[in-house]
Amino acid sequence: MSHLFSPYSIGNLELANRIVIAPMCEYSAEEGRATDWHMIHLGHLALSGAGLLFTEATAVEPDGRISPGDLGLWSDETEAALGRVAQAVRRYSPIKLGIQLGHAGRKASSHAPWNGGQLVPPAEGGWQGWAPSAVPHNASEPAPHALDAAGLKRVRDAFADSARRAIRLGFDAIELHAAHGYLLHQFLSPLANRRDDAYGGSLENRMRFPLEVFQALREVTPASVTLGVRVSATDWVEGGWDLPQTLAFARALKDRGCEFIDVSSGGVSSQQKIPVGPNYQVPFADEVKRQVGMPTIAVGLITEAQQAEDILARGEADLIALARGMLYDPRWPWHAAAQLGGQVAAPRQYWRSQPRELKALFGETRFGQR
């Protein structure tokens, strides 16, 4: 049996295969509310045959949105809008649903990438971000507010509140976004965190707030919902966050009941020099898996079925996440199953598409037969 199409469990989360659809911002929400775009986007990805589908980074408070079009989960209105999408996905697909909860920190209030991605000034509907320190992402940008004790509590409580809402909506997994230069990564990285209180300076101090937020999520998340964290394993900048610190963070998370680590990189500094190429982040997932012994998700320029299969066969990760490759080919898991001799669940409306020579492709798990 192929590794990619073998089932895998993390806690109570039973996945049909090892394919994960990575979180992808859509910049298409209205005041944090999911729209018909999310129905179409998550709806079509839910028919892909992947084992687990993550929502885009979902903001825990309005000021924590990367762009005015970010998805949010901070109110009854945002909960109802996302609930409509989650319910439709559930109705038509057996895919497991994960939510990524995040806060943009000093990278908040930006235009969508197709509008240039620059900061939106307050006069044009933007807002000032919140960060560990009043240090902007780029020197030319206005400084964010530095979070004080009350602000830290507000953000921590907002994460817990959003997690409660996600659990109420029946999400199977929650991923805390501590990567890509957003708020929690800003606390971790010495490049963004210049605090001289208990939340800055030493590694232990820089990890304190992200660990407090994780703890707040752990306290409200029942064992039936799997809880993990996405990290940037390195800033790709001398003197920044790096793999040894990531391993220390992963160990601390594991001690606190973290169930998986999704291993990405970069995003905190415009000085980063990333050697982008196939599998470029896989060695980090491999190190976390080997040294910390936690289930890991590898991500980043994994585009081919055999490539994904080989990563798993070498034991470098437990799950494989795709983002761009899945947008380019939303039936990637079907095609990978055809190539590797695996099986995928397919909706009964599409059963007639199974190629004659691939009689077992849709297997016994065709939707509607269950």
Ligand X SMILES: Cc1cc2nc3c(=O)[nH]c(=O)nc-3n(C[C@H](O)[C@H](O)[C@H](O)COP(=O)(O)O)c2cc1C
Q: How far is the CB of 364 from ligand X (least distance, A)?
A: 29
What are the E-state strand segments in the chain? 8-10, 13-15, 19-21, 52-59, 96-102, 130-131, 145-146, 173-178, 226-232, 260-264, 296-299, 319-322
Which residues from 71-100 bind ligand X, rule CB under 6 A?
A: 100
Q: What's the helix, strand, coil split of the chain in %, to 5?
A: 35, 15, 45
Residue whose structure tokens are 């994904």: 308
Q: How far is the CB of 52 from ligand X (least distance, A)?
A: 13
Q: Find the catalytic residue in 8, 27, 92, 182.
A: 182
DSSP state of 6: S
**350 classed as catalytic:** no
Shorter beta-carbon distance to ligand X: residue 48 or 264 = 264
Q: How far is the CB of 167 from ligand X (least distance, A)?
A: 20
Which residues from 244-273 bind ligand X, rule CB under 6 A?
A: 264
Residue whose structure tokens are 């708020």: 183
Q: Is 300 in the site for ligand X (CB under 6 A)?
A: yes
Q: Which of 216, 250, 285, 323 binds ligand X (CB under 6 A)?
A: 323
**Sole window of 199-207, 247-255, 316-324, 336-344 interacting with ligand X (rule: CB under 6 A):** 316-324
Which residues from 151-190 bind ligand X, rule CB under 6 A?
A: 177, 179-180
Rounded distance between C-alpha atoms, residue 200 and residue 191, angstroms: 11
Q: How far is the CB of 142 from ligand X (least distance, A)?
A: 24
Give residues with Cβ within 8 angstroms of 174, minimum separation 6.
Answer: 98, 99, 101, 163, 166, 167, 217, 221, 225, 226, 227, 228
Q: How far is the CB of 57 from ligand X (least distance, A)?
A: 3
User: Cα 147–70–301 angle (5° rounding)?
Assistant: 100
Q: Which of 231, 299, 312, 345 binds ligand X (CB under 6 A)?
A: 299
Which residues from 25-44 bind ligand X, rule CB under 6 A?
A: 25
Q: Is 301 in the site for ligand X (CB under 6 A)?
A: yes
Rounded distance between C-alpha atoms, residue 366 and residue 344, angstroms: 8
Residues paired with 299 in a beta bridge? 321
Q: Which of 17, 18, 20, 23 binds ligand X (CB under 6 A)?
A: 23
**Residue 59 phi, psi dihedral angles, 5° rounding:** -75, 140
Shorter beta-carbon distance to ligand X: residue 69 or 300 = 300
Size of the site for ligand X (CB under 6 A): 20
Q: How far is the CB of 37 from ligand X (least distance, A)?
A: 13
Shorter beta-carbon distance to ligand X: residue 177 or 289 = 177
Supply the angle between the helices 243-255 and 282-292 in degrees, to the nearest 10: 50
Q: Which residues are catalytic?
A: 182
Binding site for ligand X (CB under 6 A): 22-25, 56-57, 100, 177, 179-180, 230, 264, 299-302, 322-325
